Amino acid sequence: MRERRLHSINCLRHRETPIDISGRQNSYSHRKRSSVRLVGCTLINNRRLPLKSSKIIIVGGGIFGISAARELKKRGHSVIIFDSGPLPNPDASSSDISKTIRADYGADRFYAQLATEAITGWHQWNEESGQILYEETGNLWLTPTPMTQGQFEFESYRVLSDLNYPIELLGKPEIQERFPTWKEADYSHGYYNRRGGWAKSTKTVAWLVEKAAEEEVNLQQNNGMTGLLEHAGQVEGIITQDGSEHRSDLVIIATGAWTPKLVPWMAETLRSVAQPVYHFQVADPTAYQGKQFPQWGANVSETGWYGFPAQQEGILKVAHHGRGIPMNFGDDQSVFPEMDRKFRDFLGSSFPELRDARIVKRRLCFYCDSLDGDFWIDHDARRKNLVIATGGSGHGFKFGPVLGEIIADVAEQKSNPWAYRFRRRSVSKPLTDAARSND
C-alpha cells in the first residue's frame, strides 16, 4: 500500500477512568480497559502503517525489549530484536539471580497500582512457564525508629493498606520472634507485606526469549546497533556491528544503560549509573530462607540496603539502591575496595555471623536512570519512526508483565491508562522512587 502523508490527525483522544483493586474509581489505576481501535492502520508520527504487517526493529533484548517484542508480535507485526550480546545478555541490568517484586512505593500510588497489575502478571507467568519464576515470599521493611508521616515505610504502609494489601505492622518483639535472623540488628519497627517477593531475573528473561523464539520473533544475538539509518528527519532502520543495514517501519530503542551512548541526544534526560551487588556464601542457607527471611529492605530510604533470601546453594544477595556511580563505558568497571568495606560493615551490624562471609561474586549493575525516576517510553521528539523505551531507573524489572503492552500501545499510538507518566517531558523534579532517596 502506498504511503500517504496525513497533515493533521488527532488520534485516539480517548479518556479512561481506571479502577483500583478495591473497586473505587481513581485517576491512576485500572482493572478493566476500554478498547479503542484504529481499523486497518496505525498512525506513527503521521505515517500510515498497515496494522498487521509493520516491520519493527527492537534494539535490546532485556526486560523492556523482549516484553515489547512478544506483545507486538502477538498483534501481528514482524519483529526483530538486535542485541550486542547473547540473550539473556549478562551485562544487562535484567541479568542476575534475583530482582525485587514490590508494590511498596512510598506515597506514589501510581506505581503501587501498576505493580499490583504486574504482580498478577507474575503469577500468570509462573503458570504459563510451568516454573516458579516469581517467589512470593513477601517484603519485609524495617526501620530503627517508629515510622512517621512522610517516611517511605509509613507512606507505603498507608497506600497499600488503602489498596487492601495484606500488611502487618511490626514492633521489636514481633521482629525478634518472627524474623530471628534480624535479632542482633538495630531495627525495632516496620511492617511485613505478604504480597510481594522476588523474581529469578535471568531465568525469567531466558524463558521470555525462548517464548519469543517459539512465537517467531527474529532474535539477532551478538549483533548490536552502531547507528541509525536516517533521512530527512525520519528513521528508516539501523546499522549493526557487522556493518549491515536493516530497514524497518519503526525502530524501538530498549537498550537500558547503553541508551545515552547509542542515541546521545538522550543524555540530556537519561544517565548511566552503576550500583554494587554482592553475592555472599552462607554456611546454613535455611537460616536465611522461608518465612523467617523474606525479601527485605533495611531502613532503605535512608541507607539503601536491601536483599533476598539465600538460594539453595547458599548464595545470599545483598545490594545497595542509591543514586549510583556515573559510568562511562570506557571506564574501569570494577567494584572499588571501599565497597567491600561498606558491605561488610552492613553485614556486621545486621548479621554479625556473616561479617566475614566469603564473597562469591561482585557486580556492578548498570541502571539507565531518568532524571525523575520515571520510565521513558515515547516517540522521539526529533526523529520520526523512532520510539525510546528505557529509563528503568533501577525499578523497571518488576513491571515486566505489563511493560510489553504499554510499549506496544505507545508504538501504535493507542490509548493506554499508564503511558502518560512515561511520556517525554521536561524534568525538574527529583527521583520519584522514595526507596532511592538516599545518597
Q: Express each pLDDT in 198-256 by its tens digit.
A: 999 999 999 999 999 999 999 999 999 999 999 999 999 999 999 999 999 999 999 99
pTM, to two decimals: 0.87
User: Which segments of the chain have a pLDDT < 50?
Assistant: 1-46, 48-49, 438-439
- Report whether 412 contacts 42 (CB < 8 A): yes
One-letter-per-residue 3-state SS of the chain: CCCCECCCCCCCCCCCCCECCCCCECCCCCCCCCCCCCCCEEEECCEEEECCCCEEEEECCCHHHHHHHHHHHHCCCEEEEECCCCCCCCCCCCCCCCEEECCCCCCCHHHHHHHHHHHHHHHHHHHHHCCCCEECCCEEEEECCCCCCCCHHHHHHHHHHHCCCCEEEEEHHHHHHHCHHHCCCCCCEEEEECCCEEECHHHHHHHHHHHHHHCCCEEECCCCEEEEEEECCEEEEEEECCCCEEECCEEEECCHHHHHHHCHHHHHCEEEEEEEEEEEECCCHHHHCHHHCCEEEECHHHHCEEECCCCCCCEEEEEECCCCEECCCCCCCCCCHHHHHHHHHHHHHHCHHHCCCEEEEEEEEEEEEECCCCCEEEECCCCECEEEEECCCCCCHHHHHHHHHHHHHHHCCCCCCCHHHHCCCCCCCCCCCHHHCCC
Q: Say if residue 438 is exposed, middle or buried (CB neighbours under 10 Å; 0-12, 13-18, 19+).
A: middle
Cα–Cα–Cα angle for 129, 131, 135, nearest 5°? 120
Q: Can you list the domains of the chain with their CATH numbers? A: 41-92+202-270+371-436 (3.50.50.60), 135-197+272-368 (3.30.9.10)
Beta bridge partners of 279: 317, 361
Other beta carbons less than 10 A from residue 144's beta carbon: 14
Give the whole-angstrom CA distance, residue 324 versus residue 277.
12
Q: Cell numbers 530497514 correspond to what residue?
A: 247
- Report whether 238 contacts 82 (CB < 8 A): yes
Give the whole-angstrom CA distance, residue 253 versus residue 389.
6
Tell me what pLDDT residue 323 has.
80
**Residue 333, amino acid:** Q
- Report whether 192 contacts 168 (CB < 8 A): yes
**The C-alpha cell that represents 193 in the structure block:** 507485606
Return the closest-CA partner of residue 63 out of 391, 312, 300: 391
Tell me what pLDDT residue 39 has.
32
Q: How far apart are the first and last CA of the chain?
A: 55
**The C-alpha cell that represents 123 in the structure block:** 503469577
Beta bridge partners of 55: 78
Q: Write 150-155 long-range contacts (CB < 8 A, 24+).
A: 150/107, 151/301, 152/104, 152/106, 152/300, 152/301, 152/434, 152/435, 152/437, 153/104, 153/190, 153/191, 153/301, 155/106, 155/107, 155/434
